[in-house]
């Protein structure tokens, strides 16, 4: 909430621009700014006001219906909008509510900058209790969790940027030797940005450079990454993901009928291809999930289909919650695998390189086993997309004072965990309209 002393009460201005404005030549009659003092502070507000006026902008000290642009340094949309709505303006919908970045862009340009999406501070408050929490159709919410993004309209905004002439700098970076080399190295399973950077600084530029360098000791993961590079850098199809589901089903049903095998990741979001396959494997008996996962891995090993296996036991403990680490891996037992998938198991055959008649291919598979009371959170997190998850967490933190991760949802205001047995429950706790998995392709 905004403090009463810094929030000027709204009065209909009887006179046009203030006296101070008249000391400067007004160049932009059609633009009238109001700078929100909260977060900005009185002295910075005074300085920015003078700066803008010296460049020919009209800046009013009082918020009124004459204002065209409200500029705020506080990006917490909900408290800003709560205050704006309480100001009794007649035509708030006509006012652009903008982040300070629009102001600095305008000062730099010496004229009002064109309003871009990134400048907007969207109204995230519901207009009335029963109304939709999705952003109005015309405005695009800054949060991916308030947008419905199917697989066919991914990256539309970025593509627009590219087409509208800002691509020059982007293209220069993308075509640089450093970028291309890092991209090549990080495409190997087990090679992260740090290792890629180290190899680049050693003067290495190709896989043969890396493999011929005596000073490099590849770990087990990287060895498998190079060994199966051709297969695991080729896309996995939906049919192959489903075939892996059957393989997991068979293994899991050998020990218990009380089990859940659920496809997550990109394929649950309706993608036709992916870089790997992600499944949740668990049981409704809390505490038994780790056994189920170990059993599945053992089954795979007995069948001779494990090409690589990195099992990570549970590090889950209630005292670690809520997890404050942003973007951290979750604590559930999980396993990163490379499996051998037979052509005969896949509807329509394998996605193989031309001329490849081995009759099998290597595929990356991730398995995670959350205890059943955490299932909804794990399913939501592992379904992604990564960007959707990030925005959902950011929305929870910034707009609701809640902490969301793959284990739980914690309400900081109430000081309590909010239980959920379905994804719908989680969206409801956050006051968001439910977004279907295939609409989470942000």
What is the number of alpha carbons within 13 Å of residue 317 lying toward its C-beta?
Answer: 3
Q: Which does 112 bind (CB under 5 to 8 A by kind): ligand DCT, Mg ion, none?
A: none
- Binding flag, residue 385, ligand DCT (CB under 6 A): yes
**What gap in Å lies between CA 292 and CA 334, rounded to an integer?**
11
Cis peptide before 16 (omega within 30 of 0): no
- Binding flag, residue 371, Mg ion (CB under 5 A): no
Using the contact rule CB under 6 A, the part of the chain among 43-51, 167-175, 180-188, 275-283 near ligand DCT is 275-283
**Which x/- pattern, by CB under 6 A, does the window 325-344 give for ligand DCT?**
----x---------------
- Binding flag, residue 381, Mg ion (CB under 5 A): no
Q: Which does 381 bind (CB under 5 to 8 A by kind): Mg ion, ligand DCT, none?
A: ligand DCT
CB of 348 to Mg ion, least distance (A): 20
Query: Would you please indicate which residues are annotated as catalytic (active-site) residues?
Result: 276, 278, 366
Question: Binding residues for Mg ion, how many (CB under 5 A)?
Answer: 5
CB of 284 to Mg ion, least distance (A): 25
Q: Which residue lies nearer to ligand DCT by CB, 155 or 303? A: 155
Closest CA to 57 of 107, 129, 91, 96: 107
**What gap in Å lies between CA 346 and CA 32, rounded to an integer?**
64
Pairing of strands 236-237, 273-274: antiparallel
Whether 336 and 310 have beta carbons less than 8 Å apart is answered as yes
Whether 373 and 384 have beta carbons less than 8 Å apart is answered as no
- Binding flag, residue 274, ligand DCT (CB under 6 A): yes
List, in sequence order, the alpha helices (H) in 193-237: 193-201, 207-212, 220-227, 229-232
- Binding flag, residue 265, Mg ion (CB under 5 A): yes
Using the contact rule CB under 6 A, the part of the chain among 129-137, 173-181, 267-275, 348-356 near ligand DCT is 267-275
With CB under 6 A as the contact rule, the residue among 384, 407, 410, 427 that binds ligand DCT is 384
- Binding flag, residue 274, Mg ion (CB under 5 A): yes
**What gap in Å lies between CA 321 and CA 55, rounded to an integer?**
51
Whether 21 and 52 have beta carbons less than 8 Å apart is answered as no
CB nearest ligand DCT: which residue? Answer: 266
- Binding flag, residue 278, Mg ion (CB under 5 A): yes
CB of 368 to ligand DCT, least distance (A): 8
**What gap in Å lies between CA 355 and CA 254, rounded to an integer?**
37
Using the contact rule CB under 5 A, the part of the chain among 263-271, 340-348, 371-379, 422-430 near Mg ion is 263-271
- Binding flag, residue 382, ligand DCT (CB under 6 A): yes
Q: Which does 437 bind (CB under 5 to 8 A by kind): Mg ion, ligand DCT, none?
A: none
Q: Which does 24 bind (CB under 5 to 8 A by kind): Mg ion, ligand DCT, none?
A: none
With CB under 5 A as the contact rule, the residue among 60, 73, 276, 423 that binds Mg ion is 276
**What gap in Å lies between CA 405 and CA 382, rounded to an integer?**
10
**What gap in Å lies between CA 263 and CA 279, rounded to an integer?**
5
With CB under 6 A as the contact rule, the residue among 38, 147, 228, 271 that binds ligand DCT is 271
* 41 phi, psi to nearest 5 deg: 85, 155
Q: Which residue lies nearer to ligand DCT by CB, 69 or 407? A: 407
CA-based radius of gyration for the chain: 27
With CB under 6 A as the contact rule, the residue among 369, 381, 400, 410 that binds ligand DCT is 381
What is the number of alpha carbons within 13 Å of residue 341 lying toward its C-beta?
Answer: 32
Kind plus residue range of the DSSP H or E element containing 402: strand 402-404
- Binding flag, residue 389, ligand DCT (CB under 6 A): yes
Output the DSSP codes for 92-147. Answer: GGGSEEEEHHHHHHHHHHTSPPPP-GGGB----S-SSTTS--SPPSSSPPSSGGGS
* 3-class secondary structure, 262: strand
Question: Binding residues for ligand DCT, how many (CB under 6 A)?
Answer: 15
CB of 275 to ligand DCT, least distance (A): 4
Q: Which does 423 bind (CB under 5 to 8 A by kind): Mg ion, ligand DCT, none?
A: none
Which residues in this chain contact Mg ion in the complex, by CB under 5 A?
265-266, 274, 276, 278
Which residues in this chain contact ligand DCT in the complex, by CB under 6 A?
265-266, 271, 274-276, 278, 329, 381-382, 384-386, 389, 406
């Amino acid at each position: 909430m905004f403090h009463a002393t810094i929030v000027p009460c709204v009065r209909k201005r009887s006179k046009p621009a203030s006296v101070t404005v008249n000391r400067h030549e007004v160049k932009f009659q059609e633009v009238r700014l109001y700078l929100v003092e909260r977060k900005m502070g009185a002295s910075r507000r005074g300085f920015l006001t003078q700066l803008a006026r010296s460049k020919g902008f009209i800046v009013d000290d009082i918020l009124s219906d004459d204002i065209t642009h409200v500029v705020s340094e506080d990006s917490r949309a909900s408290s800003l909008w709560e205050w704006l709505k309480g100001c009794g303006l007649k035509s708030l919908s006509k006012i652009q509510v903008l982040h300070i970045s629009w102001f600095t862009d305008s000062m730099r340009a010496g004229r009002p900058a064109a309003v871009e999406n990134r400048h907007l501070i969207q109204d995230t408050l519901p207009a009335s209790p029963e109304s939709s929490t999705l952003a109005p159709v015309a405005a695009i919410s800054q949060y991916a969790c308030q947008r419905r993004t199917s697989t066919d309209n991914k990256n539309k905004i970025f593509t627009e940027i590219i087409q509208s002439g800002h691509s020059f700098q982007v293209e220069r970076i993308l075509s640089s030797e450093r970028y291309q080399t890092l991209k090549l190295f990080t495409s190997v399973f087990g090679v992260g940005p740090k290792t890629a950077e180290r190899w680049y600084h050693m003067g290495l530029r190709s896989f043969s450079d890396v493999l011929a360098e005596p000073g490099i000791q590849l770990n087990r993961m990287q060895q498998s990454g190079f060994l199966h590079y051709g297969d695991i850098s080729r896309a996995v199809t939906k049919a192959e993901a489903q075939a892996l589901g059957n393989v997991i089903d068979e293994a899991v049903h050998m020990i218990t009928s009380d089990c859940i095998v659920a496809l997550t990741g990109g394929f649950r979001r309706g993608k036709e291809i992916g870089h790997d396959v992600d499944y949740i494997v668990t049981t409704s008996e809390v505490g038994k999930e780790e056994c189920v996962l170990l059993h599945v891995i053992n089954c795979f090993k007995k069948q001779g289909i494990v090409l690589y296996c990195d099992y990570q036991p549970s590090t889950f403990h209630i005292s670690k919650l809520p997890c404050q680490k942003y973007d951290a891996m979750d604590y559930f037992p999980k396993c990163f695998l490379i499996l051998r998938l037979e052509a005969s198991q896949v509807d329509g055959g394998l996605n193989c390189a031309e001329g490849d008649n081995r009759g099998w291919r290597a595929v990356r598979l991730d398995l995670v086993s959350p205890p059943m009371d955490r299932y909804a959170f794990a399913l939501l997190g592992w379904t992604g997309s990564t960007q959707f998850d990030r925005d959902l967490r950011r929305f929870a933190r910034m707009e609701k004072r809640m902490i969301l991760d793959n284990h739980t949802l914690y309400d900081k205001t109430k000081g309590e965990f909010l239980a959920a047995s379905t994804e719908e429950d989680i969206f409801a706790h956050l006051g968001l309209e439910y977004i279907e998995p295939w609409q989470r392709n942000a």
